Amino acid sequence: MNDQILLSGKISEIRLPTLLMSLYRDRETGILTLTDGLYGKSLFIEEGKVVYASSEDPDEGLGECMLRRGAISLDHFFEATAQAPAGQRLGELLVTMGALTSEDLLEGVSQRLHDIIFSLFEIRTGSYSLELAPFSTMEMTTLAVDLPLVVIRGMERLHSWSQIRAAVGEPSTRVRMAARMPPFVGDLDLSREQEHLLSLSRAGMAVSFLVEASYLPPFQTYKALWIFLTLGLMEKEAARGKNEAAPLDLESALERYNDLYAFAHLKLGSLPDAEGQIRRILHGLGDAYPDLVQGQAGLAQYGRLDPDQALWALRSQSEDRRAARLQAFLEEVLYAIAHLVDSGLSAEDAKAFRSYMAQQRSHHGLEEPHE
């Protein structure tokens, strides 16, 4: 996109998260305004960052926001709003009256801006306009928030199944973690469940398998996939032909993960009941993977799965499902062991394991989710 461009249309014709990510990638500057037929709301974007937000909705004024949050009394609200039209800014007037401190005012202004920003994601009908041009911030109390952080928090508040399904696709759709993660990924503060879901997709996997293996409910799993695809953390794979090879070599995958398990087992040897805890990990996976858990006592004793037993267990699966099921199981075990390492060992030992895990993944061409 270039400067001095004005775009407009119906809100139903755009996907706001996708548009915002496009503005972020191009480091655009301009004002995006959405109108639902009653009130207009605007995002002021400067080089891919949100610096300000405004709203014509009378319920989103500073006084109304402060009143809702219990930051000012009802008497102060009526007194200040009665005097403010005389020319003094409402926030400054509240400070002068003693209703707020300067720090309280700054926090209230910031909270109001965030409320307006995230409310934009809920607008589904009306029109939009995007003016790509510089603007003055002289009269603004500004923020500086990268658009990906706005997008992920805004999308997490949405519950529109029609939008989510259209973006992610049917359960048979295959997705894969992006080969190169965007630089902002470390700032997203993903939950453990989201990190786990992202890790499962390293080698490519059908959405149906991810839903099955996820610790999140199906709807939340689909929503997380929608977020990952929008942010560029994940991408869709082209459909595979019937005669194409499975995305994962089963024997080599088992050996690669066994190297990680064995290293963790060595580190966990200092715990009083390391074997018992690993057995409990396997027991916890028994409901989802009864076939693959059976006969794998060696994981607790030696830190290794029995490859022959695992491959034998997969015989009941159709050939096109074996690789994905094994990949999901191996990641589940690794996720649980990594959590045990983090919670049970010293920070130094946990860091050593994470470092070794990153090296192994890199050696096999699988990048870490956070770089």
Residue 118, pLDDT score: 94
**Which SS3 state, helix, strand or coil, does residue 64 take?**
helix
Residue 159, pLDDT score: 92
Which of 116-120, 121-125, 320-324, 359-363 tops mean pLDDT? 116-120
Note whether 202 and 228 are within 8 A (CB).
no
**Which SS3 state, helix, strand or coil, does residue 145 take?**
strand
Residue 110 reports pLDDT greater than 80: yes
β-bridge mates for residue 6, sequence order: 131
Give the CA angle between residues 189, 222, 207 to the nearest 5°: 110
The position carrying tokens 């605007």 is 42
Q: Which of 250, 260, 210, 218 is nearest to 234 (CA)?
A: 210
Percent of the chain's residues with pLDDT above 70: 92
More confident residue, 219 or 212: 219
User: Which residue type is seen at 73?
Assistant: S
Residue 367, pLDDT score: 39
User: Which residue type is seen at 47?
Assistant: E
Mean model confidence pLDDT for the chain: 86
What are the structural domain ranges in the chain? 5-149, 159-236, 250-363
The position carrying tokens 């057995």 is 279
Residue 34 reports pLDDT greater than 90: yes
Note whether 210 and 174 are within 8 A (CB).
no
Mean of the pLDDT values across residues 229-248? 70
| pLDDT band at residue 156 using 50, 70 and 90 as cut-offs | very high
More confident residue, 85 or 159: 159
Residue 248 reports pLDDT greater than 70: no
Give the CA angle between residues 26, 29, 33 to the nearest 5°: 110
Instruction: Report the distance separating Cα 222 and Cα 167, nearest Å.
Output: 10
CA 329 to chain centroid, in Å, comes to: 22
Residue 74, pLDDT score: 94
| pLDDT band at residue 186 using 50, 70 and 90 as cut-offs | confident
Residue 250 reports pLDDT greater than 80: yes
Residue 242, pLDDT score: 44
- Residue 360 has φ and ψ, to the nearest 5°, of -65, -45
pTM here?
A: 0.69
Instruction: Report the distance separating Cα 242 and Cα 13, nearest Å.
Output: 36
Residue 241 reports pLDDT greater than 60: no
Residue 357 reports pLDDT greater than 80: no
Straight-line distance from the first to the last Cα atom of the chain, in angstroms, rounded to the nearest whole number: 29
Residue 64, pLDDT score: 92
Residue 6, pLDDT score: 85
User: Which residue type is seen at 258?
Assistant: N
Q: Helices H, strands E: what count in the chain?
A: 17, 9
